[in-house]
Amino acid sequence: MIHVLICDDHQIVRQGIRQMLADTPDIAIGGEADCGPEALRQVRASRAPQAAGPRIDVVLMDIAMPQRDGLDVLRQLKGEYPKLPVLMLSTYPDKQYAVRSLKLGAAGYLNKSADSEQMSAAIRQVASGRLFITPAVAEQLATSIAPGAAGERPLHERLSHREYQVFQRLSQGASVGEIAEQLALSSNTVSTYRARILEKTGARNDVELALYAVRAELLPV
């Protein structure tokens, strides 16, 4: 039996995933979390020597969450439990987060529009120690590591993980103060990241950043 932890800040999404997996005999829901810190707590508890409940075998992790986004939690989980498969879930286009997630240690990337058959297949695959990569994501990954790819990468792929977090929020209209609160950073630090982002993307202001995100199809669908 594969025990899965669902981490998503929307209860309706967690319920939907639970229902999708309800008729899958070899997969059971081992827990639910509405934020990254709670997911970390449950994984640690399930792997403690005197754990009362089932051991979490796979984590389904939403990317866009309050307090700490899924990529931050992914990095911490992989630091503490390198062999724990984490399958990232998102409504964002694959091109925005798929390769970034895999490079941070995710076992796979799945869009929330996936049906129950694809989701259960992805869970089984990562639970067995293999990566789950769709053909579209495989092509992106191959392109990102191809010789000479660094000079041909889209401008947003040159951003660091933290810069990308700030870029994503700026492109959706969040203010420096709002981003600082969401990412637990100072406003000065966010302003510094913003300046780096503008320099790396060639945008002159937040409006141009938003237009860049729209043209590159980086906003959630």
Place of tokens 């966010």: 190
pLDDT at position 184: 82
Phi, psi of 60 (to 5 degrees): -100, 115
Residue 176 structural domain? 154-215
Residue 120 has pLDDT above 70, yes or no: yes
Q: What's the pTM value of the predicted model, to 2 decimals?
A: 0.74
CATH of the domain at 27: 3.40.50.2300
Residue 83 shares a structural domain with residue 9: yes
Query: How many distinct structural domains can be found in the chain?
Result: 2
Per-residue pLDDT of 41-94, as tens digits, reads: 999 999 888 877 789 999 999 988 876 788 889 999 999 999 999 999 887 766
Residue 137 shares a structural domain with residue 34: yes
Q: Is residue 148 in some structural domain?
A: no
Average pLDDT of 110-114?
A: 86
Q: At what angle do helices 187-201 and 206-215 cross, to 10 degrees?
A: 60
Give the span between the Cα atoms of 125 and 107, in whole angstroms. 9
pLDDT at position 94: 62
CATH of the domain at 168: 1.10.10.10
Domain boundary, last residue among 102, 120, 143? 143
Which H or E element spans position 29? strand 27-33
